Structure 1
Amino acid sequence: MQIGTDIVSIDRIKESLERFGDRFLDRVFNQEERDTLNLNRVQSVAGYWASKEAISKALGCGIGRDLSFLDITISKDRRGKPHFKLSVEAGERFNIRASSLSIAHDGGFAVAVVAIEF
C-alpha cells in the first residue's frame, strides 16, 4: 500500500484560474470533471487539484511523462465521497487493486490524502 498527500493554497488556485482561465482548466481537468465540478467554488477546484497531486505521489511518479493530470478523473458519489479513476492506459500501467481518497478544506488550504493498494 502507498500513501500520497498534497496541500495547496486555495488562493494559488484562484490566481491560476484568474490568470489562465480555460487554459488552466483544460490542462488539469477533463470534460467529465468540468461537467460535474462547481467551477465557481475555488475550494472545490483546489481540492481536485490536490487530489491529482496526491494520487501521482502515491503512484510514485508525480505528474509528468508517466501520468498527466488528464489521466486522473476525480468524482464524488451521491453522498459526496470522492473517488478517482485512471485512464485506460494509466490504469494498465499502475494496476491499482483498491484505493481511498479524502479531500478537506480549511484555513485557506485544500488537502488530499490517498491510499492505494497494488
Structure 2
Amino acid sequence: MIGIDIISIARMQKFIEKFDRGALERFLCEKEIALCMNTNKSINIPRAAGFWAAKEACSKALGVGIGSKLNFLDMHISKSSTNAPSIHLASEKINDFNVTNIALSISHDGGFAIAVVVVI
C-alpha cells in the first residue's frame, strides 16, 4: 500500500509556537525530537513537519489513519549515516499489520513538507 501526506510548514510553526516542545512530544519520541533540533537547540520546523507528514503517510499506507489502531508513537523515524529517513513500527504493530518492509521519502519545497510511504 502507498500513503502520502502533505503539511504546510507554517501550520507546523504555529503548532510549535503555541505548545513549544510539547507540540513535538505529542507525535515524536525523544530520539526523534533530538533529530528535529538544530545545533543552537532551536526546533527545525521543516524537519518536524516532514516527520509529521511521514507518520500520517505511514498510517494511511496501513489503511487505518491515526487513531485507536495506530498512534503517532507506534511509529519511529530515524536517519541513516547518509541522512536518509526511515520509519519503523513498534514490534506489536509489525505483527498486527503483517508488515515486512516500509520505504519512506520526505521532501520540502514551497512552504510544504510531503512524505510518501510504501508498505510491503
1:71 matches 2:43? no
Once the two structures are superposed, residues 8-51 of structure 1 have per-residue CA deviations (whole angstroms, 9 ceiling, x without a partner) of 00000000000012322111001121122226221000000000
**Unpaired segments of 5 or more residues in structure 2?**
none
2:101 is the alignment partner of 1:98: yes
- 1:111 equivalent to 2:114? Answer yes
Structure 2 Cα separation of the partners of residues 106 and 99 of structure 1:
23
Give the TM-score normalised by the residue count of structure 2: 0.91
| 1:50-75 Cα shifts (integer Å, max 9, x gaps) | 00000000000000000000111111
Aligned-pair distance for 1:97?
1.0
After superposing on structure 2, the runs of 4+ consecutive aligned residues of structure 1 that deviate more than 3 Å are none
Amino acid at match of 1:100: A
Letter in 1 for 2:58: I
Alignment of 1:1-118 (within 5 A): 2-38=1-37, 40-117=43-120
Equivalenced residue count is: 116
- Please list every run of 5 or more consecutive structure 1 residues that lacks an aligned counterpart in the other structure: none
Report the residue type matching 2:110 in the other structure.
G
- How far did 1:96 drift? 1.1
**Secondary structure, aligned partner of 1:47:** helix
TM-score (norm 1): 0.93
Measure, in 1, the Cα distance between the counterparts of 2:95 and 2:101: 14
SS in 1 for 2:6: strand
